[in-house]
Amino acid sequence: MTHLKLLCVGAVVAACLFGFTLNVQAEPGEELQFYTLDEPVVTTLDEAPADIALVATAIAARMRVDDALETPPVVFAPNMAGRLHEQTFRYEGFYVDSITLTYMGPATGPEPGRRLFGTFQFEDEMGRSTAAGFGVEYVFDDEEIYVSDVALNLATPVDPDIRLYILPTDKASEMLENASDNHLELMAFIAEHALDVNNASGICGCTIVAATFDRLPGDAHLYASASNSESGEKITLGSHFLLDFDGWRVALLDGQIDLSPNSKMTIEALYAPAPKASNENPVFNVVQSFTPGEANQ
């Protein structure tokens, strides 16, 4: 199979399975060099062409564990092991929810194969999400798919899933005293002991908890806060704590929280995405808010 034939077949398969339009580019009289997508395509492992699904599954399997798993028929070049692992985090318990492809083209060498760029979207049973941008090149070698190059990086969510909770102070203290490095256990504790704010009333010694269900890069920021719902002025409360579980952030702010029907307090989660340049200051926005007085009317 020649380079040109591979691209023609690839274009037909992609058009049939994905239903997108391909922008094919070539100089007159020259071999077809690459094609790009008119717009990103979101697909799943079940819907993707077989070789893409196999490579994506193999990459995800290697990202989950420290060992260099065998993932036939996909074989990785010997120097790829370090590129498939983050420094501290492993994707154990996460499945590939979707694949967004931004580029599809042939491998750069003479052998038939593909070069892909896109994003893996991972989720777990609790609903937590993390995304990894990827670039991969592989060739078809007899019965094997040989991955010759791969690169991964944490992809930042455009609109992260951030949730607000209120914990009694004694439960928040218990949580912090027993806090482990297990984010799942921490979130299970919060879900079990959080107040039902729609049925709560009065002044409580409580802790506001803002938690991300999307994984964030190190230079993004999350804070819990409170403000006056009429004037918008910040309400000063007590101590603020920040926890980071490999990018899943939990911000805690304790103090006297007014949950009464006439409350003028608004509870907020403030989020600042990673600055685009190192010399830029983070810009915070209110991404979640709750006013007890409005809920209890």
* Strand partners of residue 106: 114
Over residues 199-228, the pLDDT tens digits come to 888 899 999 999 999 999 989 999 999 999
Task: CATH 2.60.40 in the chain: give the residue spans.
Answer: 162-295
* 34: pLDDT strictly greater than 60: no
Residue with tokens 């926890």: 243
pLDDT tens digits along 286-297: 999 998 867 555
CB 203 within 8 Å of CB 260: yes
Distances in Å between the Cα of 93 and the Cα atoms of 30, 122, 202 are 47, 10, 41
Q: How much of the chain, in percent, has pLDDT values that exceed 90? A: 61
The mean pLDDT value for 143-153 works out to 95
Average pLDDT over residues 261-267: 92
Cα angle vertex 92, ends 209, 54, to 5°? 130
Which CATH architecture is the domain 162-295 placed in? Sandwich (2.60)
Contact (CB, 8 A) for 116 and 140: no
pTM of the model: 0.80
For the cut 50, the answer to whether the pLDDT of residue 5 exceeds it is no
Check pLDDT > 80 for residue 192: yes
pLDDT at 26 over 80: no
The pLDDT of residue 297 is 53
* Backbone phi and psi for residue 129, each to the nearest 5 degrees, phi listed first: -130, 150
Higher pLDDT, 163 or 279: 163
What Cα–Cα distance (Å) separates residue 295 from each residue in 224, 225, 229, 292? 19, 18, 13, 5
